[in-house]
């Protein structure tokens, strides 16, 4: 009965682990920051609700929100934007708009696991290029080139990366852009973690040359996973037009209330709220690194440059360890969930209240010596 398209779509390894975990397990596994949405935004939502007019918006989003998004990219043009139901719908609508059955899509190994499944649901073929664990997960340029065929339509970059918490270097970006320009390959870049930088805000690929579609949203930067606000933007408006059509038939528009709150999130005050989130994340990051290092100098932590993930190598079977840890009440994600190159690694999300993080990491370290 079920469509061929969905038959092979499995629930993710992360969800499977969570489903098996004891009821009060400490969750350092989810791809979300578990702090509340900033008070400023909650108060603003109350004001919008008091007004009571919660209706459809234009398919591409409220004009004021599109202006705010354009402003975030130092642009004033809004015909090149579509507001979506989270970055996830942005990914789906984008792939749905551009992939025909058999089209190949390059994705990094390791990378965010939804890309593979969404590509397959749509009938595309995921092809993995390698990031090299021996070289701090730098791009393996030979592997990238060898993955390109006549059927390659698109490459999906996640910059900065979930699960690695790092971004591509300028040299790597230039190499990818140049290669894709020569071969007429569309670049889709998911920048949903870009605002969670440790030192300096990196440039978006929005202004770069080529057929580039940028995806982002507020789930991570503003602890707004439940509000479901994402977007696509491109400096080539014609690339966004089909996505607006797909989005119209997927969900009509993103929720009105969330769009109104998103305008506030992108205001100067809203961006300050992001700073407060980051200072809590900074504290947690230092805290957890100190704990791990004082336990053992032999646990390798990938030097991350973005919150909220630590990618650590324990030189053991990541899946077995994650299952054992889960049974003792702490969820972390085994690196193998993100691809072959993630084997032996674990992703730990420290975007959780410090007290819980402390309990979770203590149990993690105790499980290591058992
Ligand atoms: C890399 C990446 N892209 C997109 C998403 C989906 O984000 P959203 O909540 O905006 O749909 C996630 C969520 O974990 C993610 O990690």
Assign residue 316 the CATH number of its domain. Answer: 3.90.1150.10
Q: Alpha carbon 184 to chain centroid distance? A: 25
In this structure, are 126 and 211 located in the same domain?
yes
Q: Domain range for residue 104?
A: 50-267
Report helix, strand or coil for 156: strand
In this structure, are 192 and 246 located in the same domain?
yes
In this structure, are 197 and 259 located in the same domain?
yes
Average pLDDT taken over every residue of the chain: 96
- Helices H, strands E: what count in the chain? 13, 14
Examine the pLDDT at 314 and tell me if it is beyond 90: no
Total domains, the chain: 2
Please give the C-alpha separations between residue 234 and each of 206, 215, 238, 248, in angstroms, as whole numbers. Answer: 6, 9, 9, 18
- Does residue 237 lie within any of the structural domains? yes
Point out the ligand 1 atom lying closest to the alpha carbon of residue 88.
11
- Domain end residue (candidates: 267, 301, 336): 267
Residue 67: per-residue pLDDT: 98
C-alpha torsion angle, residues 43, 48, 50, 53 (rounded to 10): -170
Q: Ligand 1 pocket by C-beta < 6 Å: which residues?
A: 31, 86-88, 112, 158, 162, 190, 192, 217, 219, 225, 230
290: tokens are 């100190």
Residue 35 CA to residue 37 CA, distance in Å, equals 7
- Does residue 176 lie within any of the structural domains? yes
Which residue from 168, 189, 192, 231 has its CB within 8 A of the most atoms of ligand 1, so it is best to mutate? Answer: 192
For residue 8, count other CB atoms closer than 10 A to its CB: 9
- Does residue 44 lie within any of the structural domains? no
Please give the C-alpha separations between residue 270 and each of 223, 275, 281, 291, 336, in angstroms, as whole numbers. Answer: 12, 9, 17, 32, 36
- Does residue 45 lie within any of the structural domains? no
In this structure, are 61 and 199 located in the same domain?
yes
The closest of 346, 341, 345 to 138, measured between CA atoms, is: 341
- Does residue 43 lie within any of the structural domains? no
In this structure, are 151 and 283 located in the same domain?
no
Examine the pLDDT at 346 and tell me if it is beyond 80: yes
Work out the pLDDT band at 271, boundaries 50, 70, 90. very high
In this structure, are 346 and 279 located in the same domain?
yes
* Mean pLDDT (whole number) for 33-48: 97
In this structure, are 121 and 232 located in the same domain?
yes
Point out the ligand 1 atom lying closest to the alpha carbon of residue 85.
11
Residue 29: per-residue pLDDT: 92
CA 217–ligand 1 middle distance (angstroms): 8
Report helix, strand or coil for 118: helix
Residue 221: per-residue pLDDT: 98
CA 87–ligand 1 middle distance (angstroms): 5
Residue 368: per-residue pLDDT: 87
* Mean pLDDT (whole number) for 11-23: 84
Which residues neighbour 82 within 8 Å (Cβ) at sequence distance 6 or greater? 59, 60, 61, 90, 93, 231, 232, 240, 243, 244, 247
Residue 80 CA to residue 297 CA, distance in Å, equals 49
Examine the pLDDT at 78 and tell me if it is beyond 90: yes
In this structure, are 250 and 338 located in the same domain?
no
Do 71 and 295 touch, CB atoms closer than 8 A?
Answer: no
- Domain end residue (candidates: 221, 236, 267): 267
Residue 30: per-residue pLDDT: 86
CA 89–ligand 1 middle distance (angstroms): 9
Work out the pLDDT band at 7, boundaries 50, 70, 90. confident
Residue 329: per-residue pLDDT: 94
In this structure, are 127 and 213 located in the same domain?
yes
Name the one residue in this structure whose structure tokens are 């992939």.
99
Residue 322 CA to residue 335 CA, distance in Å, equals 10
In this structure, are 176 and 86 located in the same domain?
yes
In this structure, are 118 and 251 located in the same domain?
yes
In this structure, are 206 and 286 located in the same domain?
no
Which residue from 31, 111, 224, 226 has its CB within 8 A of the most atoms of ligand 1, so it is best to mutate? Answer: 31
Instruction: Name the closest-CA residue to atom 13, ligand 1.
Output: 31
Residue 155: per-residue pLDDT: 98
Residue 205: per-residue pLDDT: 98
- Does residue 80 lie within any of the structural domains? yes
- Domain end residue (candidates: 215, 248, 267): 267
């Amino acid at each position: 009965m079920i469509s061929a398209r969905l038959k092979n779509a499995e629930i993710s390894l992360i969800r499977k682990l969570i489903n098996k975990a004891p009821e009060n397990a400490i969750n350092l596994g989810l791809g979300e920051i578990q702090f509340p949405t900033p008070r400023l935004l909650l108060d603003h939502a109350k004001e919008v609700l008091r007004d009571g007019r919660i209706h459809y918006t234009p398919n591409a989003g409220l004009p004021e929100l599109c202006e705010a998004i354009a402003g975030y990219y130092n642009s004033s043009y809004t015909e090149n934007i579509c507001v979506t139901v989270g970055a996830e719908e942005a990914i789906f609508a984008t792939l749905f708009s551009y992939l025909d059955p058999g089209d190949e899509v390059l994705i990094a190994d390791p990378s965010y696991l939804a890309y593979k499944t969404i590509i397959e649901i749509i009938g595309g073929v995921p092809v993995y290029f390698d990031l090299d664990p021996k070289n701090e997960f730098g791009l393996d340029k030979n592997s990238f080139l060898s993955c390109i065929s006549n059927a390659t339509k698109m490459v999906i970059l996640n910059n900065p990366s979930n699960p690695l918490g790092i971004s591509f270097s300028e040299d790597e970006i230039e190499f990818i852009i140049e290669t894709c320009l020569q071969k007429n390959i569309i670049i889709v870049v998911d920048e949903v973690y870009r605002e969670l930088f440790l030192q300096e805000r990196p440039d978006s690929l929005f202004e770069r040359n080529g057929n580039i579609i940028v995806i982002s949203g507020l789930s991570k930067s503003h602890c707004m996973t439940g509000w479901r606000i994402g977007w696509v933007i491109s400096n080539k408006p014609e690339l966004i037009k089909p996505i607006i059509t797909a989005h119209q038939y997927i969900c009509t528009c993103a929720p009105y209330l969330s769009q109104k709150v998103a305008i506030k999130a992108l205001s100067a005050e809203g961006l300050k709220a992001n700073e407060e989130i980051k200072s809590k994340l900074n504290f947690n990051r230092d805290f957890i690194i100190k704990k791990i290092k004082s336990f053992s100098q032999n646990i390798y932590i990938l030097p991350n440059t973005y919150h909220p993930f630590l990618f650590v190598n324990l030189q053991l079977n990541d899946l077995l360890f994650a299952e054992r840890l889960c049974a003792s009440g702490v969820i972390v994600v085994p690196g193998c969930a993100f691809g072959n190159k993630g084997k032996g690694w674990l992703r730990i999300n420290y975007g959780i209240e410090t007290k819980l993080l402390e309990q979770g990491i203590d149990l993690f370290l105790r499980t290591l010596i058992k």
